[in-house]
Structure 1
Amino acid sequence: MGGNSNVRAAAAGNGSGSGKLLEILNVRVVGGGERVLVLSHGFGTDQSAWNRVLPYFQRDYRVVLYDLVCAGSVNPDHFDFRRYTTLDAYVDDLLAILDALRVDRCFFVGHSVSAMIGILAAIRRPELFLKLILVGASPRFLNDRDYHGGFERGEIEKVFAAMEANYDAWVRGFAPLAVGADVPAAVREFSRTLFNMRPDISLFVSRTVFNSDLRGVLGLVRAPCVVIQTAKDVSVPVSVAAYLKAHLGGRTTVELLPIEGHLPHLSAPAALVPVLRRALASHR
Structure 2
Amino acid sequence: MVTVKHLSSSMNAKLIGTGDEVVVLAHGYGADQSFWDKVAPSLAQKHQVLVFDWNFSGAFNENNNKIDEKNQGFLEFDPIKYSSFEAFADDLVLLLDEMGIKSCIFVGHSMSGMIGCFASVKSPQLFKKLILIGASPRYLNSEDYEGGFEMQDIEQLLSTMEANFHAWASAFAPVAMAGQDPLLIEKFERSLKKMKPEVALAVAKLIFLGDNRHVLEHVDTPCTIVTTTNDLVVPSSVPYYMQKKMIKIKSTVEIIDVHGHFPHLTAHDQLLEVLGRALD
TM-score (structure 2 length as normaliser): 0.93
- Structure 2, unaligned stretches of length 5 or more? 65-73
Cα distance, 1:19 vs. partner? 2.4
Residues 18-57 of structure 1: pairs in structure 2 closer than 5 A: 18-57=4-43
Cα distance in 1, alignment partners of residues 180 and 157 from structure 2? 23
Residues 50-89 of structure 1: pairs in structure 2 closer than 5 A: 50-75=36-61, 78-89=76-87
Work out the number of aligned pairs and report it: 267
- Residue 128 (structure 1) aligned to one of 123, 126, 129: 126
Q: For 1:130, what is the secondary structure of its paired residue?
A: strand
Q: Which residue of 1 aligns with 2:278?
A: 279
Cα distance in 2, alignment partners of residues 20 and 217 from structure 1? 29
CA contact (8 A) 2:179 2:185 kept: no
Cα distance, 1:169 vs. partner? 1.2
Alpha-carbon displacement from aligned partner over 1:198-243 (angstroms, at most 9, x marks no partner): 1111011000111221112211111110000001111100000110
Deviates more, 1:178-187 or 1:196-205: 178-187
- Structure 1, unaligned stretches of length 5 or more? 7-16
Alpha-carbon displacement from aligned partner over 1:37-58 (angstroms, at most 9, x marks no partner): 0000000001111001111111
Cα distance in 2, alignment partners of residues 214 and 82 from structure 1? 18
Q: For 2:190, what is the secondary structure of its paired residue?
A: helix
CA contact (8 A) 1:181 1:267 kept: no
Amino acid at match of 1:196: K
Is 1:140 paired with 2:126? no
Root-mean-square deviation over aligned CA pairs: 1.1
Alpha-carbon displacement from aligned partner over 1:145-191 (angstroms, at most 9, x marks no partner): 11000001110000001111111111111000001142112101111
TM-score (structure 1 length as normaliser): 0.92
Q: For 1:109, what is the secondary structure of its paired residue?
A: strand
Q: Which residue of 2 aligns with 1:268?
A: 267
Amino acid at match of 2:144: D
Amino acid at match of 2:47: Y
Cα distance, 1:81 vs. partner? 2.2
Q: Which residue of 1 aligns with 2:69?
A: none
Is 1:223 paired with 2:221? yes
